[in-house]
Each structure stands twice: as structure tokens, then as C-alpha cells.
Structure 1
């Protein structure tokens, strides 16, 4: 008798690995003809049905018996039916429509109602009559919802009629279908105006068919672009070619998703959106996350440690001969400027390791030493001791000296970069000086203050500065030295320009931040419990960080509006460690890292502290300096790099740990020591 079983291997002879692989390579799927949506009986069409899958449209009891309705997830929060629907949608989007169909057959759960599928096909095909008809079959709650959905569809029908040059059809759609809906009258006026413009273009075009086609295309392009902008649905990838309706019709489907309930019409790529939301939540919850463009694994929860925070001192710059009081990176992160008690300011260049390696042999002659007097440049400048020696290990970026700025007749307390980084302002006991950052030459000397200049800030146009001094004057000065405006104030310690140049923020020995609104001509204040010693703004201008005399810091949320400053009632966060003590010196802190997630500050304990901005938690305490750390600066374009300046006459460059640490420090010129291991305590 003939056996119906698959042929077995000969007795005593095992199957070959290739045969086993072929047998196990692909699981069996249900026959695609077993479609519940067509009401067919699987048992009648497929005798070899897989066990446990006996789903028939006409037998609800059997279907319910073969499907569990228990929720999914360890906490039981995931609805099983919704989950299967999203899986089917995701499989179709990935190009596995046949697998999605098999999942629908096996589960008995349809991705979407058939009316929605027909609606989507009709919209993509431009069959507007069928599309509006299917809308009526969805049972949308409320007449307004139905009218909104119809308006979205008919608006695209109107636009495409204009694109085709059929003004009569467009006018009929406007009068007989869009207007009776009674919604969006302002949009109806816009559509009517576009119709008039299209008729004008058509009538003014030449009689030749090519010229006429060109005129219609131009009018249609304007119409589609205006409607896309007005609806607020312009996608991140940019507007599609108005001559190709495919993308415009897909935008119509995306607009319909905001009107039709999600239970009926699934939002586009919903499962991917949920996964991304989960990943973003994990990244946001990670205290140390500091790497842009990261793609977390889907196989495990995202978590990182201090490896993403600059904790290694990779360079020690010793070119200053006395205490270093202030330093600041340029806006593009390619330069660093420092100043201090030795009456000089130094411009440094931030180079990538590859560029530093290729040009290290010529670094010694590339630096310049600006002359004394009013800043005349000395030719044949000093050797660049900040350069890296040839053959030394490279870690991340390297900082090399470019110019030494001489001319001040006293210590330099503060400096700031112009918005385009082409100029540098330095505040000294004698004057305010303006420098050309490309050449290192002095451009101007401002003598409008009678006592030491303590601080300055640029306006966004780069043509004016606001300056503060011990002479109790707050001044706005043009680049030609003309004082535009001045206020009588206490001895100014810090000044900032905020919200596009509308506001000036100033601190004195008082327990408040003075806020001058140049547009409204008003003055207000942000009150503090203690005297302030310094302050700084986040890069987006939203957060104000102030240092208090108790060596603690307050973070004030001034609002996300780019043009108006919100006056907060209380600080958003407070940063204070257990070992902080009363401050005797000016310590300048900053916000930095990826999206300004961190607060960075120096201290009189000779340490650099890193705080988490949102939680206020102290994350790291970095050792390395032997004197008070007066100023810190985080590179605005490289979250893996910051610098610190100290009374020990040094500048430390901190970067993330290298992939492979060398056994010990490597010398790098006369004034630089490259280290591959720093000290960090958590």
C-alpha cells in the first residue's frame, strides 16, 4: 500500500544537513484563499489546515474560541486586538503584504474596516466621488466631523481641477460641494482667489499649446504650495512636485487621520511611532545621555554611563603666566578664547585630531603675538607652545594657540565673541578693546567708562554691545564708540542680551536680576534670596543660570518664546552640593552638552562639577586643577568637549574617554601636557 507520508531517509542513514535545512527553512503559511473578508469556509477549501486555527466568518463562536482576548504585556496594558492591527499595518508598510494578510487570516482581526480601505484607494486614485461616498459609510460621530473630512477631500479635488486647467470643474466643486459644507470660510476665499489667478494666467498666456501648458502649470504650482502651507501639513521632507499628485494625495490621507477616529483609520506607521516614543523616553530618562543622533537598540533598554561625558583631561594649556579668570568658546566651536590676571587674552584654535596630526610640524610658526600699545601686531610671532608634538597620541580634538592679544594695561576680567565670531571684545581695568579674531589685531579701544569694565554682551546684529562697569553706568555702545544709551545702576557684575536683543539682563551687588525691556521701555526684576556673582544663558535663550554667593546656582525658565521673556516666579531648579561653601571669588558657570542637558561649574575646591539640568542632581566631580576653578565653557558644537580655567594658571581641556588609553601622559610642546586618564568621582 502506498504511503501518504513524506519519504523518510533510508534505515540506518541519517538525513544530510542540507536536507534538514531545506525542511526547516520555511514555516508553512495558511492558504491565501482562506479569506474571512470574502466569507469563505477554510475547512471546505483546505483540508490540511494548521491545528488551532479554525476561523470562519460564519462561526463567531469558533473564532472566539481560537483567539485569546487577554491583554498583552507584563502589566496587561496592551490591547491584543489593537496590537495585531498595528502588526498588520507595520508588515504592510515594510513590504510584507502577503505576511500581513496571513496574520489577518490567522487572527481573524482586520487591519481596518473595508470602507476605510476603499476610501484610501479612492483618494490615491483621485476618485473623489467614491471617496466622499465611503466617508458617509464610516458612521462618523457628529456632522461637523463629516464636513471636515469632506472638505479635506474636495479641496484636493478642486486643486487638481485647477492643475488640469479645468476652471469650470473647479468652479463647480467650489460652489456646489465645498461652499455648502459651511466650514473654513477663510479657506474658501483663498481657493476662490486662486481660481481667479488661474483664469488670469490662462487668459494672458499665448495661444500656442506649449505656452498655455506652461501658464497652467505655474498657476497650479502656486496653488498647491499655498494650500499646503496654509493647512500646516507641509511634511519635513518638503513639498512634492505639484505636477505629481501622488504625494499631495498622500498628504490628504494624513490630514484625514486627524479627523477620522483612530479606531477606524489607523494613523500612519503607528507602531513605528510608538517604538520611537519608547526609545525617546528611555533616552530622556538616562542621566548621562550626551551623544547626538544615537540609535538605541530595540533589544535592551537604553542606558549609558559617564563614557558620554567629558571626564578625561586630554590637554593642559600653560601659556598664561598668571591666574586665568575667564574663557569662552566661539559660537561655531572652532575657537577658544581665554584671559586673566596676566593682562593678555589668548585665541586658541580647536582642531580635529586628523588636522592636528597633518599640520603638527608647522604649528610652531602659525601662532602670532599681538604687540603692545593699542594692539599693533608683532611680526614673526612667538612659537605655538599650545600645538601638539609630532607623534604624540591624539584624543578627539586638539587645541592649539593662534594669537596672543596684548595691549591692556591691567588684568582682563571678561571676554565675549561677536555673533559671527569675527570679533572678540575684552573687558579690562583700563578699557574695552575690540579684536579681529582672524589676525589678532586690535580694531578699537573704547574709553566710555571711567572705571574698570567688568562685562559686555553683543546684540544679535553684531553692531552694538552693552557694557557694564564699576562706574555704575550701563551703556549701549556702537562699534564706532558712540554711546547710544546709558542707565545709572549699581556696580555691574554681569550683563546679557536676551530674546533677540529685546531685553538686557544685568546683575549688581543687589539680590535681583534687573531686566530692561528695550521695546516696551520698562524695567523689571527677577528677585533672588542672595547676592548674585555671575549668570549665563542657554543657547536657545530659554534658561537663565545664576551663581549666588553661597556657591549654589538657580536655574530660571524664561519661556520658550523667542521674542518675549517670561518673568518666572520661582527657580526651575537649584544646584548645590554637600561640600559647597561661601564663595569669595567670581565663579562663572554654564549650561552645555547635548541640548544643554547639563550644568557645568567650577569651585573653590579646585574641582569641576557636572549637574543634570532637569533633576538638579550632581553627576560628577572632576579633579585635576590645583587652584580655584574660575570659569568653565562647554563647546557649543561638540558635546564631548569642555574647558576649565583656574587660578593655577592653567586651562584644562576635557573630553570623553578615549577608546584605548595609553599607559601615561605624553608631552606636547612647552606649555601643553596631553593626558589620557583624568580623575572623576561620582
Structure 2
């Protein structure tokens, strides 16, 4: 009624009379007129018409069965549904419903709530998906448009990092910088040489760090204290990655890769060089990168599932928490200056580079990046100019730079549970929280 009043007062007709009548007939069960009106909906001759008619006749058939009009239902099945040659598996299922004696059993078996339920409204929703939006306005279109407008504002918000919030249509969405890590709360100085890697456990309780002093240190994040220090590699350690259960991790160097528990016990050894590692969100697959070789390893039986070879060297990789995106720090050609180095955001589902991030400095050293914030909204990287760079993942804009280290920042890690906690490792032998 409100829509009709709005149409009358504005003089603008949202839908043609035929479409409005089609909607009314579906909801009232006037199947004869519904089928007559399908010719005015500009449906695709090869697929659209047959699909629409199948859904209409299926509803008609089920309603006749529910009303115990078995002979009429059989006529619809044989003379109207079967000749369409659509979804024959469903036709066979409908045929089996002929043997059901009670309406209650029919509704339960068919997963259908009957004439007195919402079946006709559900049918209309299904039909709308097959009809051009220019002919028939999709259900909840205004609500969807408003939601899209709000989501667009959030996606364009440079500093957005709020997990759940109430959003208003009365004003534009804007966040300030208070959610971006910017103040050093602790400097960890236990390593005696350059710190090359930091990695949070998946529950955020522990932080592992690896250094050119060949040591791995496990830190208690809450108390910001050293829990355990051990030395299982004879060479400098290039990388670390925790497994999702939180009590095992892998570490790699120039000669081998180790699987260890949090107590430092070695559980498995792979005899090949590794520059960086990443673990899939389900904890079943390990991605190990060394030079131009990328190895895909099963953590169920430690077997190598695949081995890929790149034409250009990748210095570091990082997986998003949902496993959909991969960050790759790349090396430029020798003629290119350090300021032209890029971080590539790979969409793994589509197999393409979705965005490039620039501004950080990378020439002589291996610099690593990571995702951060709720929904991995930010991309963070170290840099040879002793600075941390934070970009908005979706638009590539630089959000913030952080200073404090006195030598190149080689690795960064954002806490998976504390939305404003960032950790950085540096060649100045320190870790900053």
C-alpha cells in the first residue's frame, strides 16, 4: 500500500502492470494467469522461460498433492513438468512424493511448508532471480543498496579497524587514528645480534623471535617476558611460522627446516634451504619458499605435495588469516633503485595480483610484510630506512609510518587477538612492541 501511494503521488511507476499482476498471481496461486504473464517478462527463450515454468509447475504440483488432488497432480507431473526436460533428478523426487499419504508427511519429505506457509513467497523470491531486475525489482533492493552504501564508506575509511559497531545513515562513516598502533610500550633486548623474524602464535599468547645469534626465543605476550630460549640451528635462522594449535612451529635456515614444539623439541627435519614459510589456516599445509623454489608440504604426513619454480626471486611471503590472499615481497631488477621495490597482494582464488604497495625501502636486505587489523584490513612492512609502513589493503593508500628503530626493520607481526598491537624486529638487535 505504501508503495502504491508513493507511485501515485510521484507519478513514477516502479513496475509495469504485467509485472505487478504477475507478483499478485504468484502469491494468490493463480497459476494459469501466472504462466500467461511469463510471456511479458522478456525471459531468455532457451533457458529462462523453461526454468521459470518449472518452478511454477513444481509449486502447483505440490499444492495439488497437499490438497489430496492426486489425479490433477499426476496430470501436472506428466503433461506439464516432464515435457520441460528440466532438472530430471527433481522430477524423479517429485514422482516419489505421489506415494505419500498425508499432507504432513509430504511437507516434511519435500522440505516445503505448504500453502499456509511461506512457500509462495519463497517461490516468488526464486523467480525474481531469473527475471531481469529492469523488469522486476529484486526483493529488499532498497535495503541492499543502503547496506552497500555503508559498506563502501567503511571500505574507503582509511583508519577503519573496528570489528563490530552500530553504523548510522545520519552521517558519513569516519574513523580516526586511535586504532592504529603508534606508541612503543616495550623494547625487548634479549637477542645479541640482528633480529630477523617475529611471529605470533595463532591464539596470540606467545611470540617467537629468531635472530642472527642462531637463537629462537619464545615470549609471553601478556607479561612481555622471556619464556624459553633455545638454539637448534647451527646457522642463522631465516623464518618462523606457528601452527594453528599454538604449541608447534616451523623454522628455516639456509640448510634445513625444522618442526618444533614450544619446548624446543625437534619433531621433524626437512633437508633443504628455506627463506620464508607460511602455514594454511587449517594447519594442514605448509608453504616453504627458498630462492625461486616454492614447496607445498602436507603436515599430515610431511610429504611434498608440489614444487613450484618462479622466474624471479621472492624474498618473503605472508598468508592472510582466511587463506585467500598472499603478500609477496619481490626483488627488482638490478637496474632498479631500492625505492622502486614492491609488495604484491595476490588473490589466490583468482590467481592474480590484486594490488601493489610502494614507498618502503628495500635493496640489500630481506624485508618482510604481514597483514593486520580486523579482517586483515592493513598491510604492514619493515623498511631499510628504519621505519614501519602501514597501508590500507584495499585501496593501497599509506595510512601511517612508525619510527623508533635505529637500523633496518626486517620483520613485522600484528597480533591476531589484540587489534592495536604490532611487533617489529630490527637489525638493531631489538624487538619493539
State the TM bucket, normalised to the shorter chain. 0.7 to 0.9
Decide which of 417, 442, 453 is 2:265's aligned counterpart.
Answer: 442
Structure 1 residues 320-359: aligned runs within 5 Å: 320-348=191-219
How far does residue 609 in structure 1 lie from its aligned partner after superposition?
0.8
For residues 52-106 of structure 1, what are the alpha-carbon distances to aligned partners after superposition, in whole Å with 9 as ceiling and x for unaligned? xxxxxxxxxxxxxxxxxxxxxxxxxxxxxxxxxxxxxxxxxxxxx5x65654554
Q: Which residue of 2 aligns with 1:139?
A: 40
Is the counterpart of residue 575 in structure 1 residue 357 in structure 2?
yes
Q: Which residue of 1 aligns with 2:175?
A: 304
Which of residues 235, 252, 256 is equivalent to 2:127?
Answer: 256
Distance 1:452 1:190 in 2: 53
Q: Is the 8 A contact 1:547 1:589 kept in 2?
A: no
**Cα RMSD (Å):** 4.0
SS of the residue corresponding to residue 312 of structure 1 reads coil
- Cα distance, 1:573 vs structure 2: 4.2
- Does residue 157 (structure 1) correspond to residue 157 (structure 2)? The answer is no
Secondary structure in 2 matching 1:173: helix
Question: 422-431 vs 641-650, which deviates more?
Answer: 422-431
The equivalent of 1:557 in structure 2 is 346
* Alignment CA distance shift 1:403-1:170 (3 Å): farther
Q: Secondary structure at the match of 2:58?
A: helix
What does residue 228 of structure 2 align with? 404
Shift of 1:602: 0.8
Cα 1:152–1:436 change in 2 (3 A) is: same
Secondary structure class of the residue paired with 2:40: coil
Alignment of 1:112-191 (within 5 A): 112=15, 116-132=19-35, 135=37, 139-141=40-42, 144=45, 148-162=51-65, 167-180=70-83, 182=84, 185-187=85-87, 189-191=88-90
Q: Which runs of 5+ in 2 are unaligned?
A: 333-337
Deviations 1:97-149 (A, max 9, x none): 5x65654554455555555445434433444345445x26x833368355544
Q: Distance in 2 between matches of 1:264 and 1:574?
A: 41
Q: 1:177 to 1:122 in 2, by over 3 A?
A: same
Deviation at 1:560, TM superposition (A): 1.9
Number of residue pairs matched by the alignment: 423
Moved more, 548-557 or 454-463: 454-463
Q: Which runs of 5+ in 1 are unaligned?
A: 1-96, 203-208, 225-241, 352-386, 388-399, 486-501, 505-515, 517-523, 654-682
Q: Is the 8 A contact 1:455 1:469 kept in 2?
A: yes
CA distance in 1, matches of 2:314, 2:215: 27
> The residue matched to 1:279 in structure 2 has which SS?
helix
Query: For 1:591, which of 366, 371, 386 is the aligned residue?
Result: 371
Distance in 2, matches of 1:143 and 1:601, equals 51
Once the two structures are superposed, what CA deviation does each residue of 1:397-455 show, in whole Å capped at 9, x if it has no partner? xxx44731424254433211224434112235786443334xx3515253x53x87654
Q: What residue in structure 1 maps to residue 335 of structure 2?
A: none
C-alpha separation between the residues in 1 aligned to 2:249 and 2:118? 49
Q: Please state whether the residue corresponding to 1:408 is helix, strand or coil.
A: coil
Distance 2:391 2:33 in 1: 60
**Residue in structure 1 matching 2:391, options 592, 606, 611:** 611
The 1:175–1:536 alpha-carbon spacing in structure 2 relative to 1, beyond 3 Å, is same
Name segments (4+ residues, structure 1) moved above 6 Å: 472-480
Change in 2 beyond 3 A, CA 1:277/1:343: same
What secondary structure, in the 3-state scheme, does the structure 2 residue paired with 1:311 have? coil
* TM-score (normalizing by structure 2): 0.78
* 1:536 aligned residue: 318
2:409: which partner in 1? 629
Residues 106 and 612 (structure 1 numbering): CA distance in 2 closer, same or farther, change over 3 Å? Answer: closer
SS at match of 2:330: strand
Offset of 1:594 from its aligned partner? Answer: 4.4
